Structure 1
């Protein structure tokens, strides 16, 4: 799994999403773009991808599309319309674009990939950064908007005070709870 930190400038959302789909199909990878405000860290998206793959392997997935299933888990929501709040919109957005060539759905999760898998992800990244809508940036994941994360995932001050778990731990707990809520 590779993450592309970037600023997106999207004029036509449907066309941009279709463009991501075509690039993903060309390289046989899953591509999902997230509003960076709602991504707490890399492990958050790794957990969502792993759980989405497990649901797909067990034929318990909610969405037909792997990218949408990953979005549902990352958002910790069963309803696609509510999960889309974590996606991107028209205009300028700091974003995290997940690129993942491993759709094996194995229980052990992604182990770093074969050379062929890594090359497909790298080729996808190279094609994505050529798009006019994508301006690669760095350090987006380092600038976590704690208030936005807490609001989106309903993490209260009381909950945080009652545990020594990190915000990342609490978000991953919500991601994992989607499995239970099915």
Structure 2
């Protein structure tokens, strides 16, 4: 799995999503873009990929598309409409683009950088907004106070719980 932390400026979301799909097909990988405000850390996305692949292997996936299944797990939600909140939108977004698969991940990342929506590499995972993450993943203050686990671990727990809640 490769991650590209960057700024995206998207004029047409449908066109951008289609371009990511074409890049993935061309390079034999899955490409998914996330609004970085909803990504706790790298391990969060690694776990989402692991669980999405396991669901697909078992025939338990909700989405037909692997990129959407990864998004569902990353968001900790089974409803595609609610999970899409974690994706990118039109306008400027601090993003994390995930590229994963057996194909040429590096070439796919370079191709993402050639898209007109790409506006430069930017560290996006290092500046996490805890309040946004807590709101999105439903992590109350009381839960945070009751554990030594960090917020990223609690978010990863929400991702893993999606398996149990099926």
TM, length-normalised to structure 2: 0.98
CA RMSD of aligned residues (A): 0.8
Q: Verify: 1:143 aligned to 2:138, yes or no.
A: no
Query: SS of 1:9's equivalent?
Result: strand
Give the structure 1 partner of residue 35 of structure 2: 35
Give the structure 1 partner of residue 11 of structure 2: 11
Query: SS of 2:78's equivalent?
Result: coil
The size of the alignment, in residue pairs, is: 166
User: Does the 8 Å contact 2:12/2:90 carry over to 1?
Assistant: yes
Which runs of 5 or more residues in structure 1 are unaligned? Answer: 103-116
Q: Verify: 1:85 aligned to 2:90, yes or no.
A: no
Provide Cα deviations, 1:83-134, integer angstroms capped at 9, x if missing partner.
00000111000000000014xxxxxxxxxxxxxx5xx000001111011101
User: Does the 8 Å contact 2:52/2:70 carry over to 1?
Assistant: yes
C-alpha distance in 2 between matches for 1:87 and 1:139 = 17
Query: SS of 1:33's equivalent?
Result: strand
Give the structure 1 partner of residue 50 of structure 2: 50
Give the structure 2 partner of residue 133 of structure 1: 117
Give the structure 2 partner of residue 157 of structure 1: 141
Cα displacement (A) at 1:31: 0.3
Which runs of 5 or more residues in structure 2 are unaligned? Answer: none
Q: Verify: 1:124 aligned to 2:108, yes or no.
A: yes
Provide Cα deviations, 1:31-50, integer angstroms capped at 9, x if missing partner.
00000000010000000000
User: Does the 8 Å contact 1:4/1:136 carry over to 2?
Assistant: no
Runs of 4+ in 1 over 3 A off after TM superposition: none
